[in-house]
Structure 1
Amino acid sequence: MVEANQSRVSEFLLLGLSRQPQQQQQLLFLLFLTMYLATVLGNLLILLAIIMDSHLHIPMYFFLCNLSFVDTCFSSTTVPKVLANHVLRSQTISFSECLTQMYFVFMFMDMDNFLLAVMAYDRFVAVCHPLHYSAKMTPQLCALLVTGSWVTAILDMLLHTLLMVRLSFCADNTIPHFFCDVTPLLKLSCSDTHLNEVMILTEGALIMITPFVCILASYVLITCAVLRIPSTKGRWKAFSTCGSHLAVVFLFYGTIIFLYFNPLSSHAAETDVAAGVMFSVVTPMLNPFIYRHKRGSWKSDCYEIFFCSVMK
């Protein structure tokens, strides 16, 4: 089936940024390059710091290490291709490369989704049950949560990629995006895409919404615990620890829900490109700025919240 598809359309044209005036293209090139370098450098520094410092070998930083690795890979699946296309003055991408890029973009998106939920659960246990934190967040459980996330993400995107392979592309091959996104690919297909759309709105929604609900539930419980702190300073300290993480969560999920969980007919190329930049380029770049707390500060915050709640 792949060979049949390739005989009709052997390559696609990624026109997401090339439709801008030349001056704006130069500016966008510099912007993408700067954001990519910041993403890679920042996340690699987090990885190096966690690996080198034995004091950071705890669940919170284990999950953060995985998130940094995933965000580096996430950004690397799209931005280098954008930069290369600009330098080479070519917007082409082969059929197989397009499907491969789509697979890894959404696999790493799924991993971001799962890891944000796992980190929210870790913070819930740390804040609401600090004395039992070590007993609950065992190395075995942490490894199981991360391994389960990888397996689920790989199988989920394998399903959607196989559904995409069965489609025929026999007419227009221009993608109004800067990477091979599911939505514009479905619009280009001359086959029946009903099954693909149903799977995105059902199985895909389940994969995305379930962790999001878990994150919200965790932070509702964390907020209730924080509100029991008698001092305003203590509340502000605790909220500042979680607030930046929540901001990224809403940015990440908001753009994804806007992009993928509404009918194809309602999509506009410009808004899709802007939303794609937000969740695939901006969010991974923010990771080093969000998780910059000093060693041990989160743990001490949790004990402060617990003891203030008990004494009240």
Structure 2
Amino acid sequence: MENRTQVTQFLLLGLTDDPHLQVPLFITFLLIYTITVAGNLGMLLLILLDPRLHTPMYFFLGNLSMVDFCYSSVVTPSVIGRLLTGNKVISYNACAAQMFLFAALICVENYLFTAMAYDRYVAVCKPLHYTTTMRSSVCVGLLIGCYVLGLQNACVQTGEAFSQAFCSSNVIHHFFCDVPPVMALSCSDKQVTELVLVYDVSFHIFIAMLVISASYIFIFGTILRMRSAEGHRKALSTCATHFTAVSILYGTVIFMYLQPSSSHSMDSDKITSVFYTMVIPMLNPMVYSLRNKEVKSAFVKVKNALISLGLISDKSPGKSRRKYK
């Protein structure tokens, strides 16, 4: 206990010590975070405002947007602030809180993708029973399950990481308090803890990928039996966007977490972490929603409503030409 209480704060080294890269990184991360906030909150607002998007699919998409915004906000603003001020110190409690929130939200996202895969399976394979199968109570139950499992994952990850003795160094070779770089500071015997962490992450990924894979097998089987070319195209388009988002997330998480700390390269981990903490939350609204015709239609509807209320002006070229003709 004496060794564990010696560390009251940590020093985050960040992405680089090169002073010439501080300003470009600050501008880049600020731009990414701005797009992330605008994309995810904008998508959430569209889903709330348009009654046509009050369906199970968009219920999960709306929650995905909210989770993307939250877990990006757990990391990115603090990184931007440190690049701006140069202050790399984070308290012990703040580090634990950041790890807990990030572990919870990334796991919630994992299971939201699973729920969305099940929703797509019902929509493609059992379209006549879709409204009765994906009723409101089922969707809410699935969502609650996502958050419960996310909290369980956060408790295990944070509890195991901060049960270690930090007596050799308080310098974290990373830009936020993630499990692998914090575990690297431990001077305790980490073998059992590493096994617990690997088994915990493996369990959540295995369950999610099992459900997603089974859903895709049934979906592709149904698609092969379809005679309509339009049905083929629509089903494959839905699956392609979901599969892209899932592959990006799971590929980076597996690379990051399912290996012992001795195999981690801090520099490669930093690059991977930038991708899944900042880039993925920015890409998800584009990959998953902005290509959707219903979302585009909802955006046009909301825009026209705001124009009619005088809250924004219509500055389209066509309108300008007709006005001065």
State the TM-score, normalized to the length of structure 2: 0.86
2:35 corresponds to which of 25, 34, 38: 38
Aligned match for 2:52, one of 27, 51, 55: 55
Looking at structure 1, the residues matched to 76 and 206 of structure 2 have their Cα atoms a distance apart, in angstroms, of 27
The CA deviation string for residues 124-146 of structure 1, in whole angstroms up to 9 with x for no partner, is 00000000000101111111110
In the alignment, what sits opposite 1:306? none
Q: Secondary structure at the match of 1:180?
A: coil
Amino acid at match of 1:62: F
The residue that corresponds to 2:241 in the other structure is 244
Deviation, 1:232, is 4.8
List gaps (5 residues or longer) in structure 1: 298-312
Q: Is the 8 A contact 1:160 1:196 kept in 2?
A: no
Structure 2 counterparts to residues 254-293 of structure 1, below 5 A: 254-289=251-286, 290-292=288-290, 293=292
3-state SS of 2:184 partner = helix
1:29-75 per-position Cα deviation (integer Å, ceiling 9, x unaligned):
21111111111111101111111112211111111111111110010
Deviates more, 1:235-244 or 1:122-131: 235-244
Aligned to 2:294: 295
- Structure 2 matches for 1:67-86, cutoff 5 A? 67-86=64-83
**Where do 1:52-131 residues align within 5 Å?**
52-131=49-128
Give the Cα–Cα distance (whole angstroms) in 2 for the partners of residues 22 and 49 of structure 1. Answer: 41
Structure 2 residue aligned with 1:18, among 5, 16, 25?
Answer: 16
2:13 alignment partner AA: L
RMSD across aligned positions (CA): 1.8
Shift of 1:160: 2.4
**Which residue in the other structure is 2:216 paired with?**
219
Per-residue CA deviations over 1:142-192 (Å, capped at 9, x if unaligned) read: 111101111121122112222223211111211111110101111101112
| Contact kept in structure 1, 2:3 and 2:167, CA below 8 Å | no
Distance 1:127 1:26, change over 3 A: same
Question: Structure 2 CA distance, aligned partners of 1:55 and 1:233?
Answer: 22
| Rounded Cα–Cα distance in structure 2 between residues aligned with 1:151 and 1:237 | 33
Distance 1:225 1:31 in 2: 43
Shift of residue 98 of structure 1?
0.5
Cα 1:231–1:126 change in 2 (3 A) is closer
**8 Å Cα contact 2:14/2:88 also seen in 1:** no
Which range moved further: 127-136 or 215-224?
215-224
Establish whether residue 159 from structure 1 lines up as the match of residue 149 from structure 2: no
Unaligned runs of 5+ in 2: 297-325
Post-superposition, which runs of at least 4 consecutive aligned residues in structure 1 deviate over 6 A? none
Instruction: Report the counterpart of residue 198 of structure 1 in structure 2.
Output: 195
Distance 2:213 2:277 in 1: 22
Matches within 5 A, 1:171-186: 171-186=168-183
> Quick one: distance in 1 between partners of 2:201 and 2:192?
12
Q: 1:184 to 1:141 in 2, by over 3 A?
A: same
How many pairs were matched up?
Answer: 294
1:50 aligned partner, one-letter code: I
1:205 CA drift (Å): 0.9
**1:8 lines up with 2:3 in the alignment:** no
Q: After TM superposition, give the deviation of residue 200 of structure 1 in Å.
A: 1.3
Q: 1:140 aligns with which of 128, 131, 137?
A: 137
Aligned equivalents of 1:97 and 1:18: distance in 2?
Answer: 22
How far, CA to CA, are the matches of 1:218 and 1:128 in structure 2? 9
Cα distance per residue 1:86-117 (max 9 Å; x no partner): 11111111111111000011100000000000
Task: Provide the secondary structure at the position in 2 that maps to 1:78.
Answer: helix
Partner secondary structure for residue 203 of structure 2: helix
Counterparts in 2 of 1:176 and 1:296: CA distance versus 1, 3 Å:
closer
Distance 1:237 1:140 in 2: 27
Question: 1: CA distance between counterparts of 2:141 and 2:3?
Answer: 40
Deviation at 1:296, TM superposition (A): 8.8
Cross-structure match for 1:304: none
CA–CA distance in 2 between the matches of 1:15 and 1:153? Answer: 28
